[in-house]
Amino acid sequence: MLRFVVRRLLQMAGVLLVLSLLVFVWLRSLPGGPVSALLGERQTEERREALQAALGLDQPLPIQYVRFMQRAFEGDFGVSTQVLPGEDALDIFLARLPATIELSFFALVIAIALGIPLGYVAARRKGTPMDTSLVISSLVGVAVPVFFTAFLLKYFFAVEWNLLPVSGRQSIGLDATRVTGLFVLDGILTREWDAAWDALKHLVLPSLALATIPFAVVFRITRASVLDVLDEDYVRTAEAKGLTARVIRARHVLRNAMLPVVTTIGLQVGALLSGAVLTETVFSWRGVGQALAEGFLQKDYPVLQVLIMAAAAIYVLVNLLVDITYALIDPRIRTR
Amino acid sequence: MSMRRTVATWTTAVLAAATLASCAESERDDSGSGGGGDDGTFVFGAAGAPEMFDPFYATDGETFRVTRQMFEGLLGVEPGSAEVVPELATEWTPNEDGTEWTFTLRDDVTFHDGEPFNAEAVCYNFERMFDQNDAGQVAGEYWGYVMGAFSNDAESSLYQGCEATDEFEAVISISGPTSGFPTMLTLESLSMQSPKALEEGDANGIAAEGEGFSFPDYANAPVGTGPFSFGEYDEANGSITLERNDDYWGETAKVSEIVFRVIPDESTRRQELEAGSINGYDLPNPVDWAALEEDGNTVEVRDAFNILYLGLNPEANPQLEDLRVRKAIYHALNREQLVQTQLPEGAEVATQFMPSTVSGYNTSLEPYAYDPDEAKRLLAEAGAEGMTLNFAYPTEVTRPYMPDPQKIYEALRTDLEAVGINVKVSTAAWNGGYLDNVSGEPGKYDAYILGWTGDYDSAYNFIGTFFGNLKDNDFGTDVMPWGKQLADDLKAADAIVDEDERGAAFEEINQQIMEEYLPGLPISHSPPALVVGPGVEGLIPSPLTAEEFDTVTVSGE
Amino acid sequence: MTSENPPPQPGRTSYADRRKQRLDALAATSVDDEGGVSLILSAWRRLRRNPVFLVGLAITVTFVVLAIIAPWLAPYDPAARPLLDDIRPQSNPVPGPEPGHPLGGDDKGRDLLSRLLVGSQQTLMVGVLATLFGLLGGVTLGTIAGAFAGWTDSLVMRIVDVMLSIPSLLLAFTIAALASSPSQWTLIIAIATVQVPIFARLLRGSMLGQRASDHVLAARSLGVKPHAIVFRHMLPNALGPVIVQATLVLAVAIIDAAALSFLGLGNPDDRRPEWGQMLGAAQPYLGQEPHLAFYPAACIIVVALGFTLMGESLREALDPKTRR
């Protein structure tokens, strides 16, 4: 197990190094750049060149990359040009991370809490109108763009019925104490119950919007996987032995059907990260996704570099964790 | 997972939580809750986070909107207009040749940190702005733009020195008269900041680091003289709080607190306003104006202080060197229809490259008529029938002068195609190469949509910006026989000391530009709007989009 | 019939990727020589009675026919602006229905019904071309990997794995953003690229199965040239699962095109409309004129549904597990 983990970690480091080069070259080969974002209509050839020289962007790419790597090895990933000018890009990522973790976590909880039971029900009633309508509605969730879903959620729950806040992470003027940056947890830890409750209310709509795609995936995988398992000999044997439906469900079907579902959940981290870009923007959620969107718009190279690399690292790391979990759940892998 | 392992996991989690909890104490301040003072809070939905809080290095409107509430300049702008009025200086007089300006200062002003405002503070500020290191010279963009140079190249600088001749009298010398001075002192970037705070926060300690600039501490702890002082910036939640300055020299602000909430998405800002969680936001989508008003909000339409134009570049397409072709293109455009159907209500067809409120505006100019037949005739005469035009518009941007670039583009393109011009569609994101392609030497597009919002009331700030720099402008005027003449005329007019004479000179140049040169085609002026929710009174819309919120009141829900 | 592929094992060396597993499982359904025709026939017999498949088929056929005849069906040229003079930015930003314009116009005064109808054409084109290019790239890579075992196979598959590990929309976004100026083609290529690794893995798995099959062994022992074995024996028999996947990808491609258009990476030239582009352009009007977004969104959903239902039932029909 340990060797497996170490090898995977080494592989991961190699992949990330190659990726850093790709991201670096890619960003700089995109047309435009931070200079336009800074100068706007006042941009002239002369001012552009002066600013590029000051930012070191006039140097040949290999030199820029070497400089970047030298600084990166000292732990300096550059400072933001536009997202939060002057702030260390890594600090921006760290400051934004809790917001995204909080949002993704709740979205994942919603996706799992709805996806697994509904997937199970759909599989047990395969071919019935209920199954068909569940399949169709999960598909509709995927096909509707997030901005549309988000708009409707905000329109009804926040504007029309006034049940929940429209956007943001916490009401202003609460003067909440910050500990971890996970606002709900902070409120609980410091026993500022009103702050925790307020943060939780802010979480509902964005995590629902973000959950649509992972929900659809979890639902479909659960359904497919339960169908597979129901067909297995041991389930039939169990049925033949006269075990109660409950025992079969708990001991055989669900447990065996969970393997692919666990893997899928790990893979959803990627979907959550890409979904967060849009969701965070439309919900004014100050997370990594919003910083990424803003960075793209304003061509903030240092911030983009750090965020993309960090997202990739997280993605790979989570998948490693999934593999380990997998090995833990499935004894066959461990003994092999 | 076995039962034992499950229990172990949970125990660990609970223990971890307990450990965290034991070191997490509520740090709430019991004395004053965050609800603000007694006169209410004005919550404004900002489209973006401020870059920083030192206006000298700032470049964008979202930053200036915040700093404007905290800082003041020597000169101010009359609320609701672009007219220059006294602010921290009560009077200013030039010497005969317009190179030395004596400013008489208010004697009752203190900075938020208690430091006195006087002539020494003024000169300290000017020297601070003038004396920038390499990074500061690039980051101090507005100074570079209006003054031309910094202390290391003192001779080319418009600013030549500042002397405190009395406690409340400062003399600023400039290299030569220009229409921009002293009007440029209304610029937010040139605001007066506390010398002590500047010094202690190492305000000039900006450094180029990697691909960005790192800013000194001062940039996050600004100290000015304005009606509000800096409260806090809650980055994790995207909100900036400013508190009322009760010792303000003028009338103190009506609300005790302003909060700016960062809400990047337009439709979310509108929904926040509808839900009553913000009190206003800038640049509502023109489509929403009517509905917003119906819901009890007030849409404040500002006077247009901008120009949208169709830039033409003879360097990219030599056919455009022919005046007849440029006139033909102008006649082909149905601008009346564009303004009525695709631009916000109150937009106007432009007759020249500046709005009517700027001195130097030529009232005798008439808009070029929409006349497709004349356009076809001119094209035929110039032998340019069926010409191809590489015509571009920007994406990922809205500007006060172009709420929706694509819509404007579509309208113009339909008109051009109607007279037989082949249009090649080009587009790029605003920061993704569009500006580079427009401003490059030579520019890449034959025709492009661009515009300008005035920084202050000055003709040169419009047409001088466009055509004053012969070698480096977006219209390729250096290949035109009149290009140099125009640039020289503009500089000569700008240096006239007498205001009326200067105005007359600019009027004449405007006429020449429109009738003889036509380097580009002015399209329209669009009024940018601002919306405030029910219960908000006293907001005075500014054509410079430079609203000050000290007059605003917010009555209960 | 049983497949010659080993059943998919939970991965230990790779990311234990369910996506891969699903692909491998599908690959295992490739048509074998011995029962080829009868298998397809039996599948068709089952499909004919499957209402889900029939609904999917009906939607798909309607969509394709509509796309072909749309130009004759549309009352107006989708680029013409008959309703332009009705527009007043504040009081009437989007012209409502009126005689001759049952759905009204869009914000540029063009007939909405005509644009929706003609939009089916571009939408179909983007979907089909993106799938086709993805298929082409994937089949090329997969054939190379499947035909030559050993290091060629490993190299190609490592590239494929890296591509699979990047969230698909992020990858498409990246590729589309790379183009200096967005167009219909950058959109198509971006979506196609994302599909390449999926097809490649699928085809390779299916071809590996073929390699070990009797008829390939027989051909080899008879001295048939390697390329002839690959192109005459292995590839045709391995294509079944790929075609099933292609129907599913069509739906994904249409949805992805909408997402990219919404992000401003679609075709800037909107004279020939595309549903995703229409949906993106409707964004500022969500509050006042939601129908502008609703119509194209509904069209996209229905069509994506059609392709998915058809593809899923095809897959089920070909799956040896459900066949037994």
- Residue C324 pLDDT greater than 50, yes or no: no
When mean pLDDT is compared across A162-176, A227-241, B201-215, the lowest value belongs to A227-241
Distant-in-sequence, close-in-space partners of B55: CB < 8 Å, separation ≥ 6:
B63, B64, B67, B68, B71, B188, B189, B191, B222
Helix H, strand E, coil C: the string for chain C is CCCCCCCCCCCCCCCCCHHHHHHHHHHCCCCCCCCHHHHHHHHHHHHHCCHHHHHHHHHHHHHHHHHHHHHHHCCCCCCCCCCHHHCECCCECCCCCECCECCCECCCCCEHHHHHHHHHHHHHHHHHHHHHHHHHHHHHHHHHHHHCCCHHHHHHHHHHHHHHHCCHHHHHHHHHHHCCCCCHHHHHHHHHHHHHHHHHHHHHHHHHHHHCCHHHHHHHHCCCCHHHHHHHHHHHHHHHHHHHHHHHHHHHHHHHHHHHHHCCCCCCCCCCCCHHHHHHHCHHHCCCCCHHHHHHHHHHHHHHHHHHHHHHHHHHHHCHHHHC
Winning range, highest mean pLDDT, from C5-19, C34-48, C245-259: C245-259
Q: What is the pLDDT of residue A267?
A: 65
Q: What is the pLDDT of residue A118?
A: 93
- Residue B473 pLDDT greater than 80, yes or no: yes
Q: How many residues does chain C have?
A: 324
| C80 reaches B (C-beta below 8 A) | no
For B9-29, what is each residue's pLDDT tens digit? 556 666 666 565 556 677 776
Mutate to test the interface with C, among B341, B406, B445 (most CBs of C within 10 A): B341
From the list B271, B436, B452, the residue facing A31 with the nearest CB is B436
- Residue C91 pLDDT greater than 90, yes or no: no
pLDDT, chain C, mean: 77
- Residue A191 pLDDT greater than 90, yes or no: no
For A111-164, what is each residue's pLDDT tens digit? 999 999 999 899 888 878 888 888 888 878 777 777 788 888 999 999 889 899
Collect all residues of chain A within an 8 Å Cβ-Cβ radius of residue C300.
Answer: 143
When mean pLDDT is compared across A18-22, A294-298, C264-268, the lowest value belongs to C264-268
Give the mean model confidence (pLDDT) for residues B335-343. Answer: 92
Tokens of B39: 């006169």
pLDDT tier for residue C151 given thresholds of 50, 70 and 90: confident
Q: What is the pLDDT of residue A254?
A: 74
Q: What is the pLDDT of residue B54?
A: 95
For A41-80, what is each residue's pLDDT tens digit? 888 888 888 888 888 888 888 888 888 888 888 888 888 8
pLDDT, chain A, mean: 83
For B377-423, what is each residue's pLDDT tens digit? 999 999 998 899 999 999 888 888 998 898 899 999 999 999 999 99
Q: Do the beta carbons of residue C142 and residue C203 sit within 8 Å?
A: yes
pLDDT, chain B, mean: 90
- Residue B166 pLDDT greater than 50, yes or no: yes
Question: Which 8-state DSSP code applies to residue B240?
Answer: E
From the list B344, B393, B429, the residue facing C89 with the nearest CB is B344
For A251-272, what is each residue's pLDDT tens digit? 677 777 777 777 677 767 777 8
Collect all residues of chain B within an 8 Å Cβ-Cβ radius of residue C90.
Answer: 286-287, 289-290, 344-345
Q: Is B337 within 8 Å of C284 when comparing Cβ atoms? A: no
Spell out the alpha helix ranges (H) of B403-461.
Answer: 405-418, 435-439, 459
Q: Please, which residues 173-232 of chain A have a Cβ atom closer than 8 Å to chain B?
A: 173-181, 186, 188-192
- Residue C6 pLDDT greater than 70, yes or no: no
From the list A15, A136, A264, the residue facing C18 with the nearest CB is A264
Q: Is B215 within 8 Å of A328 when comparing Cβ atoms? A: no
Tokens of A259: 């393997």
Q: Is C16 within 8 Å of A228 when comparing Cβ atoms? A: no
Q: What is the pLDDT of residue A41?
A: 85
- Residue C321 pLDDT greater than 60, yes or no: no
| A117 reaches B (C-beta below 8 A) | no
Q: Give the Cβ contact number of residue B251 at 10 Å.
A: 9
Tokens of C7: 């059943």
Q: Is A86 within 8 Å of B433 when comparing Cβ atoms? A: no
For A120-135, what is each residue's pLDDT tens digit? 899 888 878 888 888 8
Q: What is the pLDDT of residue C12?
A: 37
C-alpha span between B415 and B409 (Å, rounded): 10
| B241 reaches A (C-beta below 8 A) | yes
Collect all residues of chain B within an 8 Å Cβ-Cβ radius of residue A154.
Answer: 268, 271
| C15 reaches A (C-beta below 8 A) | yes
Q: What is the pLDDT of residue C9?
A: 41
From the list A45, A56, A68, the residue facing B439 with the nearest CB is A45
Collect all residues of chain C within an 8 Å Cβ-Cβ radius of residue A263.
Answer: 10, 16-18, 21
Q: Do the beta carbons of residue B287 and residue C89 sit within 8 Å?
A: yes
C-alpha span between A116 and A123 (Å, rounded): 11
B368 vs A318, residue with greater confidence: B368
C225 vs C24, residue with greater confidence: C225
Give the mean model confidence (pLDDT) for residues B236-254. Answer: 93
The C-alpha of B353 sits at a distance from chain C's nearest C-alpha, in angstroms, of 24
Give the mean model confidence (pLDDT) for residues C170-181. Answer: 70
For B274-302, what is each residue's pLDDT tens digit? 999 999 999 998 888 888 999 999 999 99
Q: What is the pLDDT of residue C99?
A: 86
pLDDT tier for residue C11 given thresholds of 50, 70 and 90: very low
Q: How many residues does chain A have?
A: 336
- Residue A305 pLDDT greater than 50, yes or no: yes
- Residue B87 pLDDT greater than 60, yes or no: yes
Q: What is the pLDDT of residue B321?
A: 94
Q: What is the pLDDT of residue B281?
A: 96
pTM of the model: 0.85
